[in-house]
Structure 1
Amino acid sequence: MSKSIPSYYLMIEEDDLDTLRENLLYEDTVPAKLRVGKTTHQIEIGYRGSYTRKFRKRSYTIHFDENDYLFGAHKIHLNAEYRDPSLIRNKLSLDFFQDLGVLSPNSQHINFYRNGVLKGVYLQLESVDEMFLKKRNLPTGPIYYAENNDANFSLTRDDKPKKSRLSGYYQACGTPDDDERLRELITIINKTPSSAFPQKIEKYIDIEKFFCWLVGAVCTMNNDGFTHNYSLYRNSETGLFEIMPWDYDATWGRKVSGGIMDHTYVPIGGKPDNKLCYLLLEVPEFRKMYREKLEETLETKFTIEYMKDKVLSLHELIRPHLILDPYKKNKIELFDQEPEIIFQFIKMRNHFLINQLKLLV
């Protein structure tokens, strides 16, 4: 793997930068220019994330003009990965999902400059939208982002009724008519008798692909990934919803805060707050399908042997650039310990899940 990563150069007026800072918690965007390679793009830029907006190193969303693209995208995200000492967990996770056959955003590390000043290593993330589908020759269909813990496939949260069946979801693309199909899905999950549930749910969810996603979420142990940090896409040809990962930096043994997370924290069936996971695993034939997919992954892909080169290649790729990152250069010793922490997590998590397979009989 090449030791270089691309450099992105943002040119923004100081008054516009002040506007973003003054409206830190809002979705405001301001005009700017972004040079990538030999091409300069006219863009709109704004901060992204929730609590991460208050960090010293902030993340961005970049919108291109209607007839302009970057790598076939009208919109990209630049993640600071500020709390992840390795800066690779998000990409490692999204690539892992792709290996499992799950639709997942492409990503790459870049050097980000603002008005000529290096702001450090960022992770560029592909936006999951119409262009995401078009690049993969997938049928059109609505896409929903699970924005918060209301997106738990239930009618309640913390035993309190939600405002609506669509609470927690943001439609990234689609029409108002598409919302009704998602409402139907939530209703089927919550109102269908257990005897009729297996037949009905198969008309709404691609069960096999859902379990591929669940395997990835359980192995990487994204504690937040079961009630948000995912997106839904309804394939217009099959009529079925598929689930995709999003924001997977707090994985591979690290919490959102950056601290160590115990390898047993997330159960083998995912977090019970996700009502769809719970109900699917109550069905014997579905539970068997999940067990077989998980067991195969534990033998083949979620192993140190399979992941070692991927981890070390990413670590080696960004290390020379991290030394220059103004927010990370003083933490290089911690960065250098991260591959071993990830390998230790894989070893212990793999062993834990193998021992827990008996719960899926």
Structure 2
Amino acid sequence: MEIRDKLPEYRLFIHPIDVRELRRDIWNDDPVSGKLTIDGKRFEIDLVYRGSHIRDFPKKSYTVSFYKPPIYRNANVFHLNAEFKDPSLLRNKLSFDFFHDIGCLAPRARFVFLKVNGKNEGVYLELESVDDHFLNNRKLPLGPIFYAIDGDANFSLMSDLEKEGKKSLSVGYEQKCGTILDELHLQKMIMQINTIPKEEFEKEIVNYVNVDKYLRWLAGVVLTQNFDGFVHNYALYQNSDTGQYEIIPWDYDATWGRDVNGEEMRSDYLRMEGFNTLTARILDCKTYRHQYKNLLEDILRNQFTLDYLQPKIESMHSLIRPYVLTDPYKKESIDFFDQEPDYIYRFIEARSAYIKSKLELLQ
């Protein structure tokens, strides 16, 4: 089989004792050591299974940390996502590329082919970690980064999980970069979101949030229809020059018409206004509501179209298809894989029509 455009091949070696250790408790976050060979260069690494419910899947996802040499592609950590429940394997990358194209910060992603101890593990998505290297690679000012790790990252004073007041306003977040003072500022921001009087909100919120970037992110979540994206599946970065928070998407496989289990999700399942406290308060301001409407109209004309997206989808599908045929977890469902581009095209058309039909609500 001749492959014109080749995927990078990652050859991972894990000592059998460490393999047993990984499998003994898939929820253990203590890493094991390994060796990773890429383009003939060997790296000594630490690795651990990543994700929450995805750890139960037979095809595992990994977080890889480099320590000798400590840097690869201007980073010292990346993630290898199995994309096990996505029959297309495309949705995460398609989403991050889309977010980038509409003016949001988003992780870089590329497909690779992974072998573990000489055995094919199949097509993986290498995802850039959102950390200080992420900022350096974009020449952005260093600043704190918080991961939204559960439903309490809802910008509210109330817990989504316990249905009561939060014990701490930083609950729901895991701090990746920064200090305790940065955590206190995050708590202050969440308090202000909830307590700034309505008549002052439009003017005051820009002291805490980059509203233009937030609205671009909101448009991306709504158009790709990531139901989990409003209280989960994002990171917050505070730009130290402006003091404003920007929001970064994360884990976008349950998009483009499928849910977290890979099942069909109706194109009108997620409302145009989304949900969470910050979104509700921003869209309560007429100025920002009109800004969001204009932004949606622009994206619907330009980036969220078949003319724009279909060549990208076809290119990705053609690139990885020969490798899917040798992926032990996916090769038996190649027919399903081949049907997915058309499924995504139908979703784009239906979702676009649905959002256009609701734009008048943003008057």
Structure 2 length as normaliser, TM-score? 0.97
> Corresponding residue for 2:122?
120
| Structure 1 segments unaligned to the other structure (5+ residues) | none
- Residue in structure 2 matching 1:181, options 176, 180, 185: 185
Question: Among 238, 242, 246, which residue is 2:246 paired with?
Answer: 242
Q: Whole-Å Cα distance in 1 between the matches of residues 232 and 137 of structure 2?
A: 25
In the other structure, the counterpart of 1:57 is 59
Q: Is the 8 A contact 1:323 1:329 kept in 2?
A: yes
Q: What is the match of residue 141 of structure 1?
A: 143
Mapped contact 2:22–2:48 kept (Cα < 8 A): yes
On the 8 A contact 1:155/1:161 being kept in 2, the answer is yes
- How many Å separate the matches in 2 of 1:287 and 1:26? 44
Cα distance in 1 for residues equivalent to 2:40 and 2:326:
23
- Identity of matched residues, %: 45
Assess if the C-alpha contact under 8 Å between 2:148 and 2:231 holds in 1.
Answer: yes
Selected match of 2:100 from 81, 85, 98: 98
The corresponding residue for 2:87 is: 85
Residue of structure 2 aligned with 1:340, choices 318, 339, 342 = 342
After the TM superposition, which residues 306-325 of structure 1 pair with which residues of structure 2 at under 5 Å, given as runs? 306-325=308-327
Residue type of the partner of 2:219? V
Structure 2 stretches of 5 or more lacking a match?
A: none
Look up the match of 1:170: 174
Going from structure 1 to structure 2, the CA distance change for 1:67 and 1:195 (only over 3 Å counts) comes to: farther
Q: TM-score when scaled to structure 1?
A: 0.98
> Which of residues 5, 10, 13 in structure 2 aligns to 1:11?
13
Pairwise CA distance, 1:38: 1.7
Partner in structure 1 of residue 209 of structure 2:
205
Deviation, 1:67, is 5.4
CA contact (8 A) 1:3 1:316 kept: no
Structure 1 counterpart of 2:156: 154
**Distance verdict in 2 for CA 1:292–1:359, change over 3 Å:** same
Over the aligned positions, Cα root-mean-square deviation in angstroms equals: 1.1
Which residue is 2:333 aligned to?
331
Equivalent AA in structure 1 for residue 120 of structure 2: L
- Report whether the alignment pairs 1:190 with 2:194: yes
1:112-146 deviation per Cα after TM superposition (whole angstroms, max 9, x unaligned): 00011111100000000000101111100001110
2:241 maps to a residue whose letter is E
Count of residues in correspondence between the two structures: 359
Aligned counterparts of 1:9 and 1:326: Cα–Cα separation in 2 = 16
Indicate conservation of the 8 Å contact 2:45/2:68, yes or no: no
CA deviations over 1:163-194 (Å, ceiling 9, x no partner): 21001100111111111110111000112211
